[in-house]
Chain A
Amino acid sequence: EVQLVESGGGLVKPGGSLRLSCAVSGLTFRTAWITWVRQAPGKGLEWIGRTKDKTNGGTTDYAAPVKGRFTISRDDSKSTVYLQMNSLKTEDTALYYCTAGFCIGTTCHWDDAFSVWGQGTMVTVSS
């Protein structure tokens, strides 16, 4: 069974930093692309960024609102993805999910269909 488990959320002051972790099990982590999605209280889902596997360059992409402030990294030896969040703003308050797509045969849906999700970790930015 594929499992994603987020951790690291909490209360932080505006301008502060926080690092979230996403521990992955049950899939071949080194070939997986992992995405972070957040959901502000009572609001919709927002894609914030993704890391590709190293075979595909290990590159990361970010949504405009977080680019330059958030950094996604991965440690294949620990099957863990990290989301380093700096210069946090009150509008970053949300439940942060890590999620992953899937492959069927040679067709992969890493960026367009998220079939497994963690339980989320709450980040509150407030003074």
Chain B
Amino acid sequence: QSALTQPASVSGSPGQSITISCTGTSSDIGSYNYVAWYQQYPGKAPKLMIYAVSIRPSGISNRFSGSKSGNTASLTISGLQAEDEADYFCSSYTGSTNLVVFGGGTKLTVL
């Protein structure tokens, strides 16, 4: 069982917006503003999309945004495109023995 809880799947039509939630605890997401989101295509390595809750690395489309409230973080993708179809993983720094915990992943399907 993964430490952070994500929905197994979400879907949306091109042009729509979707939000993926990532629920942790007061020991991880609730304590640190160090939530990251990764995009992963089948057979490929993960790609950093968001870090420090809401910061986009250089080169990442502004269609991707992140936020956090309490123990839950969220990734919103606006203006869905076919190329956004992938798996998305959240992570949080914990400061404890397991320094980083990941979510189980969410499969995004663009209808």
Contacts and interface: CB of A to CB of B under 8 A. Distances in A.
Interface in A34-81: 35, 37, 43-47, 50, 61-64, 67
Interface residues of B, number: 25
B86 interface: no
Given A63-B98, A117-B46, A45 B51 contact: no
B2 A47 contact: no
Contacts of B98: 47, 63-64
B45 A47 contact: no
Contact of B99 (A61, A109, A117, A118): A61
A44 B99 contact: no
A97 interface: yes
Interface residues of A, number: 24
Contacts of B57: 115
A112 B97 CA distance: 14
